[in-house]
Amino acid sequence: MEEEAHAKPKKAMPRQCCVCNQRRAALKRPKTLDQICKECFYEVFEEEIHQDIVENQLFKPGERIAIGASGGKDSTVLAYVLSELNRRHNYGLDLFLLSVDEGITGYRDDSLETVKRNEIQYGLPLKVVSYKDLYGWTMDEIVKMIGLKNNCTFCGVFRRQALDRGAAMLKVDKVATGHNADDIAETVLLNILRGDIARLSRCTAITTGIYSPNAYRGFAREFIKDLERIRPRAILDIIKSGEDFRISTSTKMPEQGTCERCGYISSQKWCKACVLLEGLNRGLPKLGIGRSRGLNTDRNKDVKEISVAKSIESKQCGTLDF
C-alpha cells in the first residue's frame, strides 16, 4: 500500500491526430481545440488559406502581387504558401518579393540573406528598396542624430511608405503582408485604447489600407501575451470582438488626399514622412514627432522647432525626387 501511495502518476498517452487518426498529435490548435499531427496541420492550414482567398475573392487571374518579405517567420510562410497555392490551384498570379532595407547594421543584413534564399527556393523575383535610396538616410544615420528614444517613429513611417513606393516600382496591383493572430489582436486593442473607432471598424478586415504607427504597441503586445498564458484562446477572442463591433455609420475615417511634396497618400498637406525628412535635413530631428521632455532644457529651440513644424505642414512645396 505504501509503495502504491508513493508511485509516480502515469503519464497520459499522446492522443492520435483527430484528422488522420494514424499519427500522434503534435499540437492543439487554439482556433478549433483539435489535436492534430504536423503533416495534417500543414494540409489544413494551406486549405484554410485557399478557402479564404476564394471566398473573399482576394485575387484575379493575371494580377501582379508583391509579397512584403522581411525574412521573418510570417513573411517567409506567406511567400511559401502563396507561391504553392498559386501553382497548385492555378490562380494565374505574377508574384514578386518586395523587401525594405532600413540600413540597420547587423539586423537587416541577415534577414535579407533569408529573403534572397527565398527568391531562389520559390523562384520569385526580388526587389529591394532602401531608405538610403528613397530618403537619403539610413536608420543608423537617423539614430545617430535622433537617438534611440524616437527612432521607431521614423522607421515605422518610412517603412510603410517604402513598401508602397516599391510596389509602385514593380507596378503591382496589390501588396500581400504576413500577419499572425497576435498582430491583429494588438491592433484591435490599440484602436480601443486610443478610442480610434474609425480604424477599429476595419482593422480586422482581410484587406486593409495603411495604419498610423502606434506608441502603445509594445504595451499591448505584453498585455496580450499575459492573457494568452492564462487563456490561450484570448487572442482569437479579441479578434472576434473586433469583427463583431457595431460601428455607427456616422463614424468616418479622415479623408485621404495626396502630399503636396511627394504625392504620397496623406490627410494633411504634407505626409508624415516628408515632415520627418524635412526635420532631418534641417538639423531639427524632433520636427513632426511632437514636444518631448528632453526639449525643456532648451526652451528657445523647442519653440523654434514647433513653429517650424507648423509652417511646414501649412506651406506649399515642390516635388521630391524619390
**314 assigned ligand-binding residue:** no
- Bridge partners (DSSP) listed for residue 96: 66
Grid coordinates in use for 262? 511627394
Q: Is 163 left (phi over 0), alpha (psi -120 to 50) or beta?
A: alpha
Q: Helix or strand or coil: residue 176? A: strand
The C-alpha atoms of residue 209 and residue 163 are separated, in whole angstroms, by 12
- Nearest to 169, CA basis, from 94, 66, 91: 66
DSSP 234-258: HHHHHHHHHHHPPPPTT--PPPPEE
- Nearest to 93, CA basis, from 53, 150, 127, 56: 53
| Residue 314 burial by Cβ neighbours in a 10 Å radius (0-12, 13-18, 19+) | exposed
Virtual CA dihedral for 189, 276, 290, 99, nearest 10 degrees?
20
**273 assigned ligand-binding residue:** no
Specify the DSSP class assigned to residue 16.
B
**178 assigned ligand-binding residue:** yes
**302 assigned ligand-binding residue:** no
Which phi and psi angles does 118 have, rounded to 5°? -60, -40
Specify the DSSP class assigned to residue 278.
H
**68 assigned ligand-binding residue:** yes
Question: Using an 8 Å Cβ cutoff, are 112 and 100 in contact?
Answer: no
The C-alpha atoms of residue 75 and residue 159 are separated, in whole angstroms, by 15
Binding-site positions: 68-70, 74, 100, 178, 183
Binding-site positions for ATP: 68-70, 74, 100, 178, 183
